[in-house]
Chains A and B, each alone.
Chain A
Amino acid sequence: MPLLELRDIHKTYHLGGETIRALDGVSLDIDSGEFISIIGPSGSGKSTLMHIIGCLDSPTSGTINLDGVMIHNASARQLASIRNKKIGFVFQFFNLLPKLTVRQNVELPMIYSGFSSKERRERAMNALESVDMEDRSKHRPSQLSGGQQQRTAIARALVNNPKIIFADEPTGNLDSNTGERILQMFDKLHTEGKTVMLVTHDPDIAAVTPRRIEIRDGKIANEIDPKLSGQTPRFNIGTNN
């Protein structure tokens, strides 16, 4: 049974009398441990898809089964709990809280899942170690470089040991070298067995993942899946040719 199972997902918005079909019948299976990217130009519906899978939004119709839980009609409270325990987000703009130190930022998800402060500290330090940020734990986000901030954000996404990690344009705000390091980090997470989903408009970035799904006009336009086609994916990260 796949980790994530989407069946015929529709999402429509009403904007000033006009109906916008952000997602128009998307069906998708993602297995545990996959490294997958969602590609598409802006306005294609990829962000909406990520928001729906990431439990930030609910579909207008269709069913979603995440790790055995039907989330398409879950309550806001249940969604919050799923976001907390099963999902980790990494954003383009890092989205760290500027008033908190690096360690406190990483501890934040655990505050909402009710860990003791000692446990929080230990787990946060472990997560920071895994992204080589343990020596910056007392710094504030404003004292860090973009790459360091993004690594902190990754540590925050990892700290509750989620089933799936979403990265929304994680390199969009970084120079290419730093971006490469971040992508390598996701690749490493994948080889450690994590399920990682990259959302990007850049095919070069999407190229790091074995499986790529292209979204256009709310539909899956193209899909490259090594399981289906036997294609060998490009692993030569960052060569950009």
Chain B
Amino acid sequence: MNLLTTILSGFREIRAHWFRSALTMFGVICGVASLVTMAAFVKGKENLLRESLAQSGGLERITVESEDDLPDYQKHLEDEIRGITLKDVYALRNNAPLVYNVTPIIEKRSFRSDLRVTRKGKSTRYTLLQGTWPESLDIMEHEIEHGRMFSDIEDHLAKNVCVIGTEVRNSLFGEYDEYGETIVPIDETIFINYKPFKIVGMLKEYMTEEDRKKKEEAKKNKENKERGFDWRSMRYKDSNSRRSMIVYSSKNSSILIPLNTLVSKLDSSFESGSKMDRSLSELTMKIFDVSLLEKSLQQVRNVLLRTHNGLEDFEFETQESFADDITQAIYNERTSGMFIAGICLLVGGIGIINIMLSSISERVREIGIRKSIGATNLDVFAQILTESVVLAVSGGIIGLISSPFLIDGLASYAPDTTPPILTVESMVIGFSFSAITGSLAGLIPAIKAAKLDPIEALRYD
């Protein structure tokens, strides 16, 4: 008995009892759909986390922050704490060959300090002001879309220039002009703590790939419509779909200015003494080789201990812990999701066993007839197993077809979750799971059917 005939007879059997089959399939449909949907949501989350890891500098980036809490044996030296200074930056640049682009950063946040960014009566809601060197562009994975980064000379001369993120532009200028064109406020002036700064560059808008696609689509759709469209409504819609990922939004809300400018013109705490002694928020650098992370950290530590006279008033922050967290979180979600989907499939499988058992006890006579005209035990076994697999796989396919709708439905029900990504991989897994469920569930009924004695079976009523 060839496979095609067996499969066709499986379908005939399903059609003959379509309602019963549909009920049986429902378990598998749920199992496969939930498996694929779960995988899509986890994948979406994973992608977002990985993207944001890359966006915040990748694994190569390490950051040194000052730490007020000294180890116990150094507690009595707390008065000596200097924090991280430009001296450390130069020392590292000269003495730590495993790292490069050592860059100082002084940060000010609008919600914590008295930082005010204004223009013509408008102000920003949340701003991250960073006084830094031009190298920071590379370290923080910034990309300039319009204009340029400020130069070393502008830093040296403490010029009032700045590079802004798109969110700053949105707050102070708006995103689109009345013709629907994107506003590029290069050479405009904004006021940071009431001091004028010239915008020399604007960063690109950071967002997830999903959001970018959605935004472009939305824009295209609107362009096809009439010209006099109110672009602000789109902004609203867009920000609604924008996921609140801190990495993206804080990058978009950044203003970069030369370190010197910040220290000499905006810093009220800066009083006297050398600029070299000004304590920095953090210094950040990249390592050449991620596999040499431990060695690089040790090197940086040695250099810093020397400039800090042996005081351990600093700590490292690497992205590796972030990466580990991502892996762990994804693993957890995947396991729990798999568990739930597994239970669904188990229930579906038991449903199939049940229905196949009752189906063969209804068909004892048929099995007897088939055996009397020459079906081997293997033929009967294959027939029942195939019916079970056909049942499960049909359920699996329906589950696969319905999973995109389920995903869309869930995503629109909870718009603030990370955008799910339907992967072919998960669909293949879901499909094979349904096939495996079907063949496992079919085993017992198929063995039972194959073992039937043809004489007994023919007598059966």
CB 8 Å contact bits of A101-129 with B (1 = contact, 0 = none): 00000001101111001000000000000
By secondary structure, the B interface counts as helix
* B439 → chain A closest CB, angstroms: 22
Residue of A nearest to B378 (CB): A77
Q: Which residues of A contact B2 (CB under 8 A)?
A: 111, 114
Residue of B nearest to A81 (CB): B374
Q: Which residues of A contact B369 (CB under 8 A)?
A: 95-97
Interchain CB contact (< 8 A) of B374 among A57, A85, A91, A99: A85
Q: Which residues of B contact A112 (CB under 8 A)?
A: 1, 370, 373-376, 379
Residue of A nearest to B6 (CB): A111
Q: Which residues of A contact B365 (CB under 8 A)?
A: 95
Q: Does A51 contact B (CB under 8 A)?
A: yes
- A77 to B373: give the CA distance in the assembly, Å: 13
- A114 to B12: give the CA distance in the assembly, Å: 20
Q: Does A201 contact B (CB under 8 A)?
A: no
- Which of A80, A95, A113 has the most chain B CB atoms closer than 10 A to its own CB? A80
Q: Which residues of B contact A99 (CB under 8 A)?
A: 12-13, 16
Q: Does B5 contact A (CB under 8 A)?
A: yes
Q: Does B371 contact A (CB under 8 A)?
A: yes
Q: Does B404 contact A (CB under 8 A)?
A: no
B454 with A84: CB separation less than 8 A: no
Interchain CB contact (< 8 A) of A111 among B5, B12, B371: B5
Given contacts A51-B455, A114-B2, is CB(A108)–CB(B373) below 8 Å? yes
- A109 to B16: give the CA distance in the assembly, Å: 22
Q: Which residues of A contact B378 (CB under 8 A)?
A: 77
Q: Does B332 contact A (CB under 8 A)?
A: no
B455 with A57: CB separation less than 8 A: yes
B377 with A77: CB separation less than 8 A: yes
A56 with B373: CB separation less than 8 A: no
- A156 to B370: give the CA distance in the assembly, Å: 12
* B451 → chain A closest CB, angstroms: 10
Given contacts A97-B369, A112-B1, is CB(A83)–CB(B374) below 8 Å? yes
Given A56-B371, A108-B370, 4 additional A-B pairs, CB 8 A: A76-B377, A80-B374, A83-B374, A99-B12
- Pairs A–B under 8 Å by Cβ, sample size 26: A51-B455, A54-B372, A56-B371, A76-B376, A76-B377, A77-B376, A77-B377, A80-B371, A80-B376, A80-B377, A81-B376, A83-B374, A84-B373, A84-B374, A89-B373, A91-B458, A95-B369, A95-B458, A96-B369, A99-B12, A99-B13, A108-B370, A109-B373, A111-B5, A112-B376, A117-B5
